[in-house]
Amino acid sequence: MSEYSPQTIEKKWQQRWAERQTFEVAAESSKPKFYCLVMFAYPSGHAHVGHVRNYMIGDVVARMKRMQGYHVIHPFGWDAFGLPAENAAIQNKVHPRAWTLDNIAHMKGQLQRLGISYAWEREIATCLPNYYHWNQWIFLKMFERGLAYRRRSTVNWCPSCLTVLANEQVIEGQCWRCSSEVDARALEQWFLRITAYADQLLDGIDRLTEWPEKVLTMQRNWIGRSEGARVQFLLTGDTAVPIEVFTTRLDTIYGATFILLAPEHPLVEEIATTANEPEAFRERVRRFRTQDRTARLTGDIEKEGFDTGRRATNPFTGEDVQVWVANFVLGDYGTGAVMGVPAHDQRDFEFAQKYNLPVRVVVQSDEDATSLSEFEEAYVGSGRLVASEEFSGLPSAEARVLMTQVATDRKIGEGAVQYRLKDWGISRQRYWGTPIPIIHCESCGLVPVPYDKLPVELPDVTAFSGRGDSPLAQVPEFVNTTCPTCGTDARRETDTMDTFVDSSWYYYRYCDPHNKALPFDPEAVRYWTPVDFYSGGVEHAILHLIYSRFFCRVMRDLGLVEHDEPFTRLLTQGMVLKDGAVMSKSKGNVVDPDDMMATYGADTLRLYEMFVAPPEKEIEWTDTGLEGSFRFLSRVWRLVEPLAARVRDAGQPSANLDDTERAMRRKTNETIHRVSRDLDPRVHLNTAVSALMELVNDLYVFCDKAGCGPRARQSETSDIRPETAAVLREAIEALVLLMAPFTPHIAEELWERLGYSEGLIAAQWPKIDSSVAGPDTVVVPVQVNGKVRARLTVDTGRSDADLEADALVDPQVQGHLAGKTIVKVIVARGRLVNVVTK
RNA sequence: GCGAAAGUGGCGGAACUGGCAGACGCGCCGGAUUUAGGAUCCGGUGGCCGCGAGGCUGUGGGGGUUCAAAUCCCCCCUUUCGCACCA
């Protein structure tokens, strides 16, 4: 008998898979298709055991589906643009491309050593021109349809690094790199009009029945639809300028006793010019606007405001109300102006208290009529209107409908829907991203780069200082060009795209990764998509997954794809923790899969990560748990390896079996059932593994009895009873096949030793044998008043009436019935008896 | 503050439509084997009481429904995650 030597086995099979291109997949097949996708990787350098968990989960699903007869596409690629490469370039004087490609090479090796069954021939890297070409192509299609546009917007600006920062790069109001206070600055930026699809993205959520509820809730909140109305208050003065406000509570408008403008509201500057002391006015506005941006956004700031001195007319009451500028009003939501209803909005209430503004109750709850003197907080619920002229007495909901109608008729407002979702700012002043394919011409304006001039390739910048604007702006050969329309001198756009653009459609490119004429052939995508199973980290619950849903719809409208939703089923996998914390280089708690594989092999690592918890849950890394998995695989090896040659020629189990053999067959069958069910539709990989462990435990006992187990080495040459050999072969083959998705290398090796030379790719998922008889007897617990007092061993299928009789004559049961009156006896579907007494 | 999810042995976790709580693994204890250790194999392992048979108790806490509750309902506590002035 040989030792279990994972290093030898794993190398052998990985080579064979590569040579035979086992996991490459043809364009079409007569089999049903299955698209198994895991989120592609950012090539940061080294994958740790937390990153690879997701790839293992996907691999289990892909390998199982192949064995179940599906034509499986299981691709992988690299989300290869992004800031870290540029930072590495600054720090280590390496070109981002070299850094990225080196990392990809290393990480690809890691995945191959793990034995993940990818169709590597379809590998993509977003930083290569043959990929980002199509980012540019899609961008231009969106530009043509008005879905990509340019406008000024407020961004985070670091005055020391002289660059724009993403929201994630602003930590407590400071630059993550140099800790300078971040300013708000208005810049021309490119946006994608995701808000045009807001309603579709929201409605589509209801049809995502195979996504985690948590993710759907997050997306709903992110989109944040609110129904209400826009109403105009007229600013009093020489010219009656309208101030439009958005409200979801038009029913409270009779209680609107002031107007609040965001510091960014366009009217603020206009009002400033007519103020008594314009400069002091502007200074106060400026102070609000430069208040810590993050704090303002999180509401972690004292509510402040000041009276502009101007008045506006409430269109319903006809009264003039004060117009204030307030720091807590958001400039980029709704109209940037709100009506202040202190009696029915908590924020307005606090504001009114602070500045002694009038409070007027206009809605009263049905239960208790609130009077003003009792007010300690705003009443924000619905109720019946009071002090609202002809609307008084109406319930809030009805009043909103009627008042919206009245506002529309009087042309002072209309019903409106607002979304929290904002258009997606994709401009990045960075080098390592997709160049935006636009040319700025003085006479023609924004001119798209013609399709036949794509891709606009990144020039070879070599000096990365980390300062200044977009590095592309400093490359004259890149910037200076001619206008495609009029031929005069023109400038290229120097912003690059957010890398979330790259990841919004990569799953389509896998279907046709080498296409040189289009992002992909719609036929290929029609065949493979939508993605049947998608697995990745929950941190992408909103960003990537909502952007992809958006891109999917845009591509549908472009006639490129035919479905509305790209991912049918989503699994969000939990993180791997070490010492209670997420693994990270800076914490120094990363576990390198290569270290683990060197000691225990890839199969052990895979098995451990699949067994220790359900895929959705986070897991705490333990070395002892890993050893346990190694122990199990060694145990399988010690059992199967010496037995394989002895049972490989055994026939089918006959009817002529003894009790032990029949029980063994039942266990085999039961394990097939449990593992199949746990893998699909549930993806309960941990319980599937425990079912396999039980089978192995039973096999040890069985072999022990049959005198052919690991403990009976001396009998290796002795004969095994033919019936026993047949039962063993059946059990062992099922075991090996069921293990194959989890631990493919050891499974391949044992499968070969069982006499199959074509590999597991040619093997089929084991089927339940319905001819295997169930057990002759079952154990039925008997309860007295809900407590188990005895267990009866009875023939299978014994009637409930007989069971009741059996229970009542049982001596144990009788002992507990002494001196009591039986009220009734319940027999639960032949599984349990409960005697109820008084 | 709002919303969602989750609380089960020393630990990770099982438990189908309410029906034997703790599968499987880790750890621990004992035994076999071994010069010894490791490895391996076998057995035990929620808590309390009992020599034992056995009894009591037990799924965050408190109520409730039910013959029967980890599972269903109500209240509370804790943890995690998400959102966070969205008018």
ipTM of the complex: 0.94
Instruction: Using the CA of A250, give the nucleotide whose C1' is nearest.
Output: B87
Scanning residues 698 through 717 of protein chain A, those with a beta carbon under 7 Å from any atom of strand B turn out to be 700-701, 704, 710-711
Instruction: Using the CA of A333, give the nucleotide whose C1' is nearest.
Output: B86
User: Is a pLDDT exceeding 70 seen at residue A32?
Assistant: yes
Name the helix (H) or strand (E) containing A642.
helix A623-647
**Cis check: omega of the bond before A455, within 30 degrees of 0:** yes
The lowest-confidence range among A460-469, A495-504, A513-522, A583-592 is A460-469
Of all residues in chain A, the percent with pLDDT exceeding 90 is 61
The average pLDDT across A185-194 equals 88
User: Is a pLDDT exceeding 70 seen at residue A413?
Assistant: yes
* Residue linked to tokens 């299978």: A796
pLDDT of the residue at A838 = 79
Scanning residues 520 through 559 of protein chain A, those with a beta carbon under 7 Å from any atom of strand B turn out to be 538, 542
Which contacts qualify for A306-309: CB closer than 8 Å, 24 or more apart?
A: A307/A355, A308/A261, A308/A268, A308/A271, A308/A275, A308/A281, A309/A275, A309/A276
Scanning residues 402 through 441 of protein chain A, those with a beta carbon under 7 Å from any atom of strand B turn out to be 418, 420
The lowest-confidence range among A536-550, A600-614, A683-697 is A536-550
The lowest-confidence range among A365-374, A750-759, A803-812 is A365-374
- Asked if residue A796 lies in contact with residue A813, where contact means CB atoms within 8 angstroms, the answer is no
pTM beyond cutoff 0.90: yes
A224 strand B contact, CB < 7 Å: yes
Q: CB count, 10 Å around CB of A617?
A: 11
Return the bridge partners of A582, or none: A577
In angstroms, how far is B63 C1' from A785 CA? 21
Q: What's the pLDDT band for A168 if we cut at 50, 70, 90?
A: low
Instruction: Using the CA of A330, give the nucleotide whose C1' is nearest.
Output: B86
Tokens describing residue A804: 């009741």
In angstroms, how far is B50 C1' from A613 CA? 39
Residue nearest to nucleotide B39 (CA to C1'): A631
In angstroms, how far is B69 C1' from A734 CA? 37
In angstroms, how far is B47 C1' from A788 CA? 19
The average pLDDT across A268-296 equals 81
Q: What's the pLDDT band for A525 if we cut at 50, 70, 90?
A: very high
Q: Is A646 exposed, middle or buried (0-12, 13-18, 19+ CB in 10 A)?
A: middle
A361 Rama class: left (phi>0) / alpha (psi -120 to 50) / beta: beta
The lowest-confidence range among A6-20, A130-144, A311-325, A533-547 is A533-547
pLDDT of the residue at A543 = 86
A380 strand B contact, CB < 7 Å: no
Return the bridge partners of A424, or none: A192
The average pLDDT across A732-748 equals 97
In angstroms, how far is B42 C1' from A695 CA? 18
* Separation CA A810–CA A783 (nearest Å): 12
pLDDT of the residue at A714 = 47
pLDDT of the residue at A178 = 67
Scanning residues 638 through 657 of protein chain A, those with a beta carbon under 7 Å from any atom of strand B turn out to be 638
The lowest-confidence range among A21-30, A287-296, A471-480, A677-686 is A287-296
Tokens describing residue A402: 């009627």
- Asked if residue A607 lies in contact with residue A613, where contact means CB atoms within 8 angstroms, the answer is no
Q: What's the pLDDT band for A811 if we cut at 50, 70, 90?
A: confident
* Separation CA A479–CA A453 (nearest Å): 15
* Separation CA A687–CA A614 (nearest Å): 8
* Separation CA A204–CA A512 (nearest Å): 27
* Separation CA A529–CA A36 (nearest Å): 10
Tokens describing residue A814: 């009788």
A614 strand B contact, CB < 7 Å: yes
Reported as a single tens digit per residue, the pLDDT across A456-491 is: 999 988 777 665 567 898 899 999 999 999 999 999
Scanning residues 77 through 136 of protein chain A, those with a beta carbon under 7 Å from any atom of strand B turn out to be none
In angstroms, how far is B52 C1' from A683 CA? 47
Residue nearest to nucleotide B27 (CA to C1'): A624
Mean pLDDT of chain A: 89
Q: CB count, 10 Å around CB of A202?
A: 17
Angle between helices A623-647 and A685-706 (to 10 degrees): 50
In angstroms, how far is B23 C1' from A365 CA? 54
In angstroms, how far is B57 C1' from A827 CA? 26
pLDDT of the residue at A254 = 95
pLDDT of the residue at A812 = 84
In angstroms, how far is B2 C1' from A227 CA? 19
Scanning residues 283 through 342 of protein chain A, those with a beta carbon under 7 Å from any atom of strand B turn out to be 296-299, 301-303, 327-330, 333-334, 336, 338-339, 341
A384 strand B contact, CB < 7 Å: no
A172 strand B contact, CB < 7 Å: no
* Separation CA A16–CA A128 (nearest Å): 29
Q: What's the pLDDT band for A430 if we cut at 50, 70, 90?
A: confident
Residue nearest to nucleotide B55 (CA to C1'): A789
User: Is a pLDDT exceeding 80 seen at residue A506?
Assistant: yes
In angstroms, how far is B65 C1' from A788 CA? 22
Instruction: Give chain B positions with protein CB within 7 A.
Output: 3-5, 12-15, 19-21, 23-27, 39-43, 55-57, 67-69, 81-87
User: Is a pLDDT exceeding 70 seen at residue A372?
Assistant: no
In angstroms, how far is B73 C1' from A615 CA? 31
A783 strand B contact, CB < 7 Å: yes
Q: What's the pLDDT band for A689 if we cut at 50, 70, 90?
A: very high
